[in-house]
Structure 1
Amino acid sequence: MSDVERNGFISKVIGPKKRWWAYRARVKELPEGHRAAVEAIERCLMHFVPTDGDSNAAMFEDLADLFEQAAADGTSIRAIVGEDPVEFLGTFAQNYSEGGYVPARARKQLAEAIARVEEAEASAT
């Protein structure tokens, strides 16, 4: 794959690089538990077939918005994603992407990551 093809593919997956790095900077500023949850969701979202770079950039930016607001309000991760983080992921992603799927392994990893964040939040209080 040439650099041009690779950059075109990356742009489709994550959107324009400038928006991606701005999103990553926002995620980095989240409290530890919220950041860990966003990163787990992000890994799963990468399995969705991109429709276009702008839609995917908007999807990640909206994810950051959601978790920034939740962190500011003191909302727990479980209150954001509900009892089934995979269902949350599917509902969230279908607003932005046609097609795509989350492999069973990625669904399991997401559920485990959210459970670890929830345990860490519980032990911190």
Structure 2
Amino acid sequence: MGIRDIIEGKKQWRAHVARVKALPPDYQIVYKEMQKYFFKVGPVELTEGDLLSGIVDFFEQGVASGKGVLELIGTDVAAFCDDLIQDSCTYADLYQESISQDRGVVEK
């Protein structure tokens, strides 16, 4: 990764943060909670994919249609997040696999 890639990544992140800050306060609160949840759970594609920007797109559409954030995602934010990443590999999954493989070696 070169310096240009780092600078471009920072520009993209700042633009993303500006879009989040343009959302109504209730949307911002829910987005930040979702972001914390994803950073904790750790879907592998989080840094590579469009998950967070897709959520902002979804929220912007909800604002445009005049809906509240809980009308869009429901009252259980964690369940909504889990549904988004249910088919994704998480760092927890990778850790479990590595433990299982290590145990297999030890037990033999």
TM-score of the pair, normalised by structure 1: 0.58
- 1:84 match: 76
Which of residues 92, 99, 102 is equivalent to 2:90? 99
Identity rate, percent? 25
Runs (4+) off by over 3 Å: none
Gaps of 5+ in 1: 5-10, 102-125
Residues 72-94 of structure 1, C-alpha deviations (whole Å, 9 max, x = no match): 11111211121322110101133
Task: Supply the AA of the counterpart residue of 1:30.
Answer: L
Query: Which residues of 2 match residues 3-14 of structure 1 at below 5 A?
Result: none
- 1:41 match: 34
**Structure 1's 17 and 50: CA in aligned 2 closer, same or farther, altered over 3 A?**
farther
**Structure 1's 79 and 18: CA in aligned 2 closer, same or farther, altered over 3 A?**
same
Per the TM alignment, residue 39 of structure 1 is displaced from its structure 2 partner at its CA by 1.1
Task: Supply the AA of the counterpart residue of 2:37.
Answer: C
Q: Give the number of equivalent residue pairs.
A: 85
Structure 2 distance, partners of 1:42, 1:77, is 15
Gaps of 5+ in 2: 93-108
SS of alignment partner, residue 40 of structure 1: helix
Query: Over alpha carbons, which structure has the higher Rg?
Result: 2
